[in-house]
Chain A
Amino acid sequence: MADIRSLHDAVGDLIHDGDTVALEGFTHLIPFAAAHEIIRQGITGLTLVRMTPDVVYDQLIGAGAARKLVFSWGGNPGVGSLHRFRDAVENGWPRPLELDEHSHAGMANRYVAGASRLPFAVLRGYRGSGIPGRTDTVATVTCPFTGEELAAVAALNPDVTVIHAQQADRGGNVQLWGLTGVQKEAVLAARRVLVTVEEIVDGALEPRPGSVVLPGWVIDAVAEVPGGAHPSYAAGYSVRDNDFYQEWDAVSRDRDTFARWLDDNVRKATR
């Protein structure tokens, strides 16, 4: 049974220095508020996992929370570069960032293997790409039935997965819908799970077509954080704040401007 906690207490209890942490959400339902709480608590040395380390990881990396990034596409979608990510990789600011780099198909299958508690997943991937030469988590296996050579990707089992969802009930059962991305796999692959939600409802969750339901017994903590995905969004509750993503380009380009933004909007803010 998941405990209903405050965001502050849940992050403090579940996420520790040096952990491997996945904050997932494929554009939709990105747990920004939880990331900001990680920054406020000064948790550091994290290996951050995410298919699309967009603005949320730009903020965590720029704040100095990360030592390593496991990912497949690092940009500000539709806008351009992630400047804090690039500064860390190219110049080691505020600290060097180690990379373990994949394709989307590879990352998705790493989570599938993790959720299935298998050591690896197979896919017809990475052919002709230089990516396997830069990571030790892609190899090849031979199909025992056809003899075909396939890519093998190592399972991803984060210490902690954090996602944002629309609703939970008082028992900590969670329901999310819309673009559900890779969240289910990232949750089931993790050792500990924190879910922030738009709303905790009384009584039973109302079933939605195509939704993902995660029972409370696969989740450690649920925190009610309305708007916790902003500037990302929660279908049915909010829309994506495209202006924020476009404005982030200017905020993140300069180290001092970024540091001021972080102080004003995250470090001095309270939830």
Chain B
Amino acid sequence: MEINAARALTGAHSCFVGIGLPSTAANLARRTVNPDLVLVYESGTIGSRPTRLPLSIGDGELADTADAVVSVPEMFNYWLQGGRIDVGFLGAAQLDRFANINTTVVDRGPDRPEGRLPGAGGAPEIAANCGEVLIVLRHTRRNLVPALDFVTTLGHGTGPGDRAALGMRGAGPTAVITDLGILRPHPDTAELELTTLHPGATVEQAREATGWDLRVAEGLTVTEAPTEAELSALRALKGAGRRAA
């Protein structure tokens, strides 16, 4: 999953990176498919070149290796809202068929309080202002749900035109990378469909792990297996991260 997420950053200039899987993928991309990728973290760092995986977006390593460190208001107002970042890379707790994201609360049924998630963080404006958005998450029915319990971050709303009607810039989510494959919005309906399977995964498995009736794209492809270089870069990155943590 991390390797495919990293490959999705081929050709991007700059990436606004969330912590966790997106950060692993973006750092791996810099070591494999895109050495010149400019990593931007919401803690204020632009152009970080960490030698290990940061545990937090504010690890000193990110600031020490950055081209520039800016304040948080500057990051959100000038760089993000200013439309200067190509790709926003997000994780999600819940995702629906139009790539809308919930990271706020989950409904746990009657007589039980809402389950609390971390909240919005930078995501609503990352998804609204970057040229495009990539999402990485594990492929389970708990994560890919028929309806969100809460809309934290708009992806494609209820279909084509919703983003434009709201005056949102950029293409919105263009790929959802999971551990089973890659989902992309259908050009006409904006509904996510399975376009790529990872080696070893099956269509049935992906459909079983999706909370809605997952469509499969014509011309479904299979991901190229990870290369030895990619695997060793990932191992080195994770190994260094563990030692430092």
A124 touches B167 (CB 8 A): yes
A73 touches B121 (CB 8 A): yes
Name A149's closest neighbour in chain B (CB-CB): B167
- Does residue B35 face the partner (Cβ distance < 8 Å to A)? no
A81 touches B104 (CB 8 A): no
A105-B124, A127-B128 given; A26·B113 CB < 8 A: no
CA of A104 to CA of B118, assembled, Å:
12
Interface set, chain A 50-68, CB cutoff 8 A to B: 51-52
Give the contacting residue for B57; candidates A27, A102, A109, A148; CB below 8 A. Answer: A27
Summarize B's interface: helix, strand, loop or mixed: loop
Interface set, chain B 121-179, CB cutoff 8 A to A: 121-125, 128-129, 150-154, 157, 162-163, 166-168
Name B244's closest neighbour in chain A (CB-CB): A242
CA of A212 to CA of B44, assembled, Å:
14
B63 touches A123 (CB 8 A): no
Q: Which residues of B contact A242 (CB under 8 A)?
A: 55-56, 59, 244-245
- Does residue A112 face the partner (Cβ distance < 8 Å to B)? yes
A103 touches B77 (CB 8 A): no
Q: Which residues of A contact B163 (CB under 8 A)?
A: 128
Stretch at the interface among A8-16, A37-45, A232-240: A232-240
Name A245's closest neighbour in chain B (CB-CB): B55
A72 touches B119 (CB 8 A): yes
The smallest C-beta distance from A184 to any residue of chain B, in angstroms, reads 7
A86 touches B73 (CB 8 A): no
CA of A182 to CA of B10, assembled, Å:
32
The smallest C-beta distance from B110 to any residue of chain A, in angstroms, reads 15
B245 touches A179 (CB 8 A): no
The smallest C-beta distance from A110 to any residue of chain B, in angstroms, reads 10
- Does residue B120 face the partner (Cβ distance < 8 Å to A)? yes
Contact size class for A? 35 or more
Contact size class for B? 35 or more
B57 touches A77 (CB 8 A): yes
Q: Which residues of B contact A233 (CB under 8 A)?
A: 60
Name A91's closest neighbour in chain B (CB-CB): B113
Interface set, chain B 57-89, CB cutoff 8 A to A: 57-60, 63-64, 69, 71-73, 75-77, 80-81
A104-B72, A124-B167, A180-B44 given; A75·B118 CB < 8 A: yes
Q: Which residues of A contact B64 (CB under 8 A)?
A: 235
A128 touches B154 (CB 8 A): yes
- Does residue B181 face the partner (Cβ distance < 8 Å to A)? no
- Does residue A220 face the partner (Cβ distance < 8 Å to B)? no
Name B112's closest neighbour in chain A (CB-CB): A90
Q: Which residues of A contact B63 (CB under 8 A)?
A: 28, 178-179, 235
- Does residue B20 face the partner (Cβ distance < 8 Å to A)? yes
Those 5 A-B pairs whose CB atoms lie nearest each other, nearest first: A27-B58, A128-B154, A75-B118, A73-B121, A77-B56
- With A28-B63, A127-B128 known, 4 other A-B pairs at CB within 8 A are A27-B43, A72-B121, A129-B120, A129-B152
* Chain A interface residues toward B at CB < 8 A: 26-28, 51-52, 71-75, 77-79, 81-82, 85-86, 89-91, 101-105, 108-109, 111-112, 123-131, 148-149, 178-182, 184-185, 210, 212, 233, 235, 239-240, 242-243, 245-246
> 30 A-B Cβ contacts within 8 A?
A26-B43, A52-B121, A71-B119, A72-B120, A72-B121, A73-B118, A77-B56, A77-B58, A90-B114, A90-B115, A101-B119, A103-B120, A104-B42, A105-B77, A111-B73, A123-B76, A128-B153, A128-B166, A129-B153, A130-B150, A178-B63, A179-B69, A180-B44, A181-B58, A181-B72, A185-B71, A240-B55, A240-B59, A242-B59, A245-B55
